[in-house]
Structure 1
Amino acid sequence: MNMQTDKEFIALCLDTYFSKHHRVQMRLPIKTDPEDGGVPLSMVNGEVDEEGYVEWKMLPSTVTGEEVTEIEKSLPAPFPPLFRAYLTTRFVLDMQVVNPPYFFMFPELPADNPFRDITFTLQAWNLLLTTGYIPFAEYQDGWGPVCFDTKQQTADGDYAIVWFDHEHLLHELDEEDYRLREKVESYAQSLFPSFRVFMTEMFLH
């Protein structure tokens, strides 16, 4: 599939998901500090209420492929094409994606700092990069990183999705262990065969 087709798929996923969860997830605190996670001014969609909350709106992304490529320079492999499309299609907030039994903290893409979440996640779990895992989201609310397993690649450049329990990563592996694929792999828990299946199951079903 080409990038335009992938972008259209991402737009469909976001539109479908938020049409079902609009009342619950389309209101957040207004941004009052450059370092906080509130709604940037450009994404405000209405008046701020008495509690400081405001409805937000998705916007077309201005993120370029070149900017994504710059992030990829520190990774063991490129992001899957569909995730690149996610990073460059829309500015979007409140990405607590729930579809029982799954609940993921997906990277937000605020208009004023679209790489904030993905950069934080990559830095927080950077030791996983050595053995071919690219962290991009959180399982549940801080249970551990959700990763692309670049050693399990599909024909179209996608990757299998796995997650790691943060307790295992923090308390059962030392820095030397992170250099051993077999050691790290023994803690990986399979979730989805590809990012495309992940998006389909979590956003469209």
Structure 2
Amino acid sequence: MRLPIKTDPEDGGVPLSMVNGEVDEEGYVEWKMLPSTVTGEEVTEIEKSLPAPFPPLFRAYLTTRFVLDMQVVNPPYFFMFPELPADNPFRDITFTLQAWNLLLTTGYIPFAEYQDGWGPVCFDTKQQTADGDYAIVWFDHEHLLHELDEEDYRLREKVESYAQSLFPSFRVFMTEMFLH
């Protein structure tokens, strides 16, 4: 749990409030999780630009703790969740939503990265469960960037053909990743 210390307000280093120890000679420092101050109303504000609200368990992730370097590894899976730094908790999720914003028009909400830059992991809002959760799918970034044009993103059928199903819900995803 060591990352570079934040040296610029705009960089992605460890915010001072999350520092847990001394900075080493390479500029790295241990960090600690902190209770989140993010409110449900702040999450709701982000959701206004989405095709549907986040699932309840993901909302809990966004509002419970400030956390950095959130990698979920359970072979063969490796996911990179958005970091929630104390000084800018929505930085990563906002970046992810903007980077893959064309997916929003067809009902996909990007929320994480598969492997290290292989493409977005998304909530598929067209596959909703009774409790407000969604199926989890992954898109290979090569397909999105090289096989679809902007017009294709308006057609659910076209985009859906590239979706690779991972889990039937975010709850199942979290259970499989953390309890097995």
Q: Could you state the TM-score of these two structures normalised by the residue count of structure 2?
A: 0.98
Q: Percent identity?
A: 100
Structure 1 residue aligned with 2:159? 184
CA distance in structure 1 between the partners assigned to 2:157 and 2:35 by the alignment: 41
Q: 1:164 aligns with which of 122, 139, 144?
A: 139
Structure 2 residue aligned with 1:146? 121
The unaligned stretches of length 5 or more in structure 2 are none
Q: Structure 1 residue 204: deviation in Å?
A: 2.9
Give the count of matched residue pairs: 180
The unaligned stretches of length 5 or more in structure 1 are 1-25
Q: Structure 1 residue 46: deviation in Å?
A: 1.0
Which is helix-richer, 1 or 2?
1
Question: 1:21-50 deviations in whole A, cap 9, x for unaligned?
Answer: xxxxx1111111111111100001111111
1:22-101 aligned at under 5 Å gives the runs 26-101=1-76
Superposed CA RMSD in Å reads: 0.8
CA distance in structure 2 between the partners assigned to 1:105 and 1:144 by the alignment: 10
Q: Structure 1 residue 162: deviation in Å?
A: 0.0
CA distance in structure 2 between the partners assigned to 1:33 and 1:72 by the alignment: 28
CA distance in structure 1 between the partners assigned to 2:40 and 2:23 by the alignment: 34
The structure 1 segments of at least 4 consecutive aligned residues displaced by more than 4 Å after TM superposition are none
CA distance in structure 1 between the partners assigned to 2:72 and 2:82 by the alignment: 10
The alignment partner of 2:113 has SS state of: strand
CA distance in structure 2 between the partners assigned to 1:98 and 1:138 by the alignment: 12
Question: 1:143-172 deviations in whole A, cap 9, x for unaligned?
Answer: 110000000000100000001011110111
CA distance in structure 1 between the partners assigned to 2:179 and 2:88 by the alignment: 27
